[in-house]
Amino acid sequence: MTDPLPPLRNVIARHDLAAKKSFGQHFLLDLNLTAKIASFAGDMSDSHAIEIGPGPGGLTRAILGASARHLTLVEKDARFLPALEEISAAYPGRVTVLEADGLTIDETAVMSGEDRVILSNLPYNVGTILLIKWLQAQPVWWRRAVLMFQREVADRIVAPVGDKAYGRLAILTRSVCSAQMVMKIPAQAFTPPPKVESAVVMLDPLPDGQRFTDLQALGTVTASAFGQRRKTLRRSLAQAASQTTASSEDLITAAGLEPGARAETIDIAGFQALATAWRAARPTRT
């Protein structure tokens, strides 16, 4: 599909849209790159897509060019709204522009249909928080998420057990969905260039019977275990155990793990077993 809009640099100059460091903004203006990112969402002809923090609309144009049935744009920086409304006017009936905060918006209230996807070049300062929000959604409302993060965050999402980047984020993410790093993007591709590389991660929810749904418990035990990752589980789980009627050793034994093991050697299933043991040992409230 031919893009009917003027070059992005012209739009940015005309609307005086300088990136704000306080919002973690870095613009991706290369439409070949944004088209590649949008392609990872697969066939969107029957999809309602949502983009958080579209900025001047580089990825936005690619999503529409990929024939998404409808696209909801959520932008909290009001400076970008006129430029986004121009995109909406160029694609009549296919775009909804909302001035809102992606951290608080109820996506299911503003999206329609059963095939819903998320595509975003996430602001660096809230990317992880947004990911956790979407992972915690019950039921999971999205078919696929194609998200750009700082390379360091992407590495943590896809890290295997035993890797130095393996930790809480990998366990929480992959207890809900599969995760694959599909594209690396150099800092020079952005305006202004950040100090770090970025990467695109593709997330697909696991089947219902394979998803671990108690992310609150999982978050508690992983925060405790990796908060002191050089210590053995017997010692590092003390904080999580203090919220239960059990000792660290009791929780570890119930999960079928070794008390002398360290967090980075425990696979995702092992942490899920720890979370289940932690939940079972919580005091009953009357």
Instruction: Report the pLDDT value the prediction gives residue 286, as an integer from 0 to 100.
Output: 47
The residues near 123 (Cβ < 8 Å, ≥ 6 apart) are 23, 24, 25, 53
- Token couple for 251: 């929780």
Instruction: Report the pLDDT value the prediction gives residue 285, as an integer from 0 to 100.
Output: 64
Chunked mean pLDDT (size 10), the chain, 286 residues: 75 81 76 94 97 94 96 95 95 97 96 96 89 95 97 97 97 98 93 89 96 96 93 95 96 96 97 98 78
- Token couple for 207: 């089947």
Which of 76, 117, 79, 74 lies closest to 98 in space, CA to CA? 74
Give the separation between CA 34 and CA 197, rounded to whole angstroms.
16
Instruction: Report the pLDDT value the prediction gives residue 25, as an integer from 0 to 100.
Output: 75
SS (H, E, C) 202-245: EEEECCHHHCCCCHHHHHHHHHHHHHCCCCEHHHHCHHHHCCCC
Task: Work out whether strand 48-52 and strand 116-121 pair parallel, antiparallel, or are unpaired.
Answer: parallel
Instruction: Report the pLDDT value the prediction gives residue 31, as an integer from 0 to 100.
Output: 86
